[in-house]
A = this chain, B = another copy of it.
């Protein structure tokens, strides 16, 4: 199949599919006589794998690592779990950050009357860190 069919099947933009081969994340596809890229089921499955991993927030480098584990019939599940667990910690950390951010900003928004006068705790709160963050 041609690139647009492969891309559609994998749920990725055509540009992205080309890009993933350019950076060597997936292997370069074979070409037709006229130079068109041609894809088979296996190539598409790898693209799906990458798309899913990216949706999980794995970086391209992590995808590279996961993909080599995906392709390695002899790797241990512990190797995979290690990477996934690290990623899980990243997510939890990000969640904590977002929560404190949300709470602090919500506090400021709540304190702001939102009327046509210039007094605004949000602006004030951005200018000087408020106590008890």
CB nearest to A106 among chain B residues: B88
Q: Which residues of the partner chain B approach A69 to less than 8 Å between Cβ atoms?
A: 120, 123
Q: Which residues of the partner chain B approach A15 to less than 8 Å between Cβ atoms?
A: none
Q: Which residues of the partner chain B approach A21 to less than 8 Å between Cβ atoms?
A: none
Q: Which residues of the partner chain B approach A82 to less than 8 Å between Cβ atoms?
A: 114
Copies of this protein in the complex: 2
The interface size of chain A toward B, counting residues with CB under 8 Å, comes to 53
CB nearest to A104 among chain B residues: B56
Q: Which residues of the partner chain B approach A76 to less than 8 Å between Cβ atoms?
A: 115-118
Q: Which residues of the partner chain B approach A48 to less than 8 Å between Cβ atoms?
A: 127-128
Q: Can you give 21 contacting A-B residue pairs, CB < 8 Å?
A: A45-B127, A48-B128, A56-B126, A57-B101, A69-B120, A70-B127, A74-B118, A75-B118, A76-B115, A76-B118, A77-B112, A77-B116, A77-B118, A77-B119, A78-B116, A84-B109, A87-B105, A88-B106, A91-B102, A95-B98, A95-B99
